[in-house]
Amino acid sequence: MLILAFLMKYFLLGLQKNRLSETKHTILIADDEPDILEILQYHLTAGGYMVHTVKDGDEALDAARRINPDLIILDMMMPKKNGIEVCELLKAQIKFKETPILFLTALNDEATHIKGLETGADDYISKPVSPKVLLSRINAHIRRTGKKETGIIKMGEMTIDPERYVIAIGADEFVLAKKEFELLYLLAQKPGKVFLRNEILNQVWGYDVIVGDRTIDVHIRKIRQKLGIDCITTVKGVGYKFEL
């Protein structure tokens, strides 16, 4: 028992050295095996992360929207929705486009591996895997995400800052509600492109969120009122586009 306790202490000290910083990043893990969830939560918490666990695909989608994790780990074979379906649905939403998604699965055939990555996942790790190796891969993805550009959009006198959810026009700054900002940011990424209503609903609100027919119209009206300019054009019967 003393030897086991010593080895565990030594292992945990090694994990502590791998911590990225005192600021904890949040990881969401989805797996239908309770033992796997318990082991991963233990080791990743020891590695300095805040960890949330869920046991099926629907819970993964719900938790992702609620906690907005810094990284998501998905099992391939889960009830209700499998890992491929969850990954596709998350990557279709603007808020998760830059969120690293890792598959951690017992399926290690080449075809499944390729399909997982083509779905939009950032990594594919086969079980079993050493906790230290998994932690190192997670750390690498977190570092890489942190080095990405801020995503600030500048056009004319308008600056859209996704880090602060602030719109600047000249010397004036405007704060929009979360969905208002995400809607404007989505359109502004591709000026002149007409976004269909369903495309906007799926990327801003999510595929399974039920909203009223006039939801987009109401949000666009509020954006126009707050900014004092009409930068979103309605293409009747089709959708909306951003133009200054």
What tens digit of pLDDT does each residue of 216-227 get?
Answer: 889 999 999 999
Question: Considering the entire predicted model, what is its pTM?
Answer: 0.61
pLDDT tier at 147 (50, 70, 90 boundaries)?
A: low
Last residue of a domain, one of 89, 124, 146: 146
The CATH number linked to 53 is 3.40.50.2300
Report pLDDT for 7: 37
The packing angle between helices 83-91 and 110-118, to 10°, is 20
Residues 47, 68 share a domain:
yes
Residues 97, 142 share a domain:
yes
What's the gap between Cα 51 and its chain centre?
Answer: 15
What tens digit of pLDDT does each residue of 49-65 get?
Answer: 999 999 999 999 999 98
Report pLDDT for 17: 43
Residues 126, 22 share a domain:
yes
Report pLDDT for 11: 41
What's the structural domain count of the chain?
A: 2
Report pLDDT for 148: 53
Residues 177, 67 share a domain:
no
Residue 71 has pLDDT above 80, yes or no: yes
Q: Which domain holds residue 219?
A: 153-242
What tens digit of pLDDT does each residue of 107-142 get?
Answer: 888 888 888 888 889 999 988 888 899 999 999 998
Residues 193, 115 share a domain:
no
Residues 139, 51 share a domain:
yes
Alpha helices in 47-118 (DSSP H): 57-67, 83-91, 110-118
Find, among 240, 214, 228, the residue nearest to 176 by Cα: 228
Return the higher-pLDDT residue of 32 and 17: 32
Residues 35, 97 share a domain:
yes
Residues 183, 124 share a domain:
no
* Average of per-residue pLDDT across 87-106: 86
Residues 46, 90 share a domain:
yes
Residues 126, 76 share a domain:
yes
What tens digit of pLDDT does each residue of 153-167 get?
Answer: 888 788 888 888 889
Last residue of a domain, one of 146, 179, 200: 146
Residues 202, 140 share a domain:
no
Alpha helices in the chain (DSSP H): 2-17, 34-46, 57-67, 83-91, 110-118, 131-146, 178-188, 197-200, 215-227
The CATH number linked to 210 is 1.10.10.10
Residues 125, 8 share a domain:
yes
What tens digit of pLDDT does each residue of 21-32 get?
Answer: 344 789 999 999
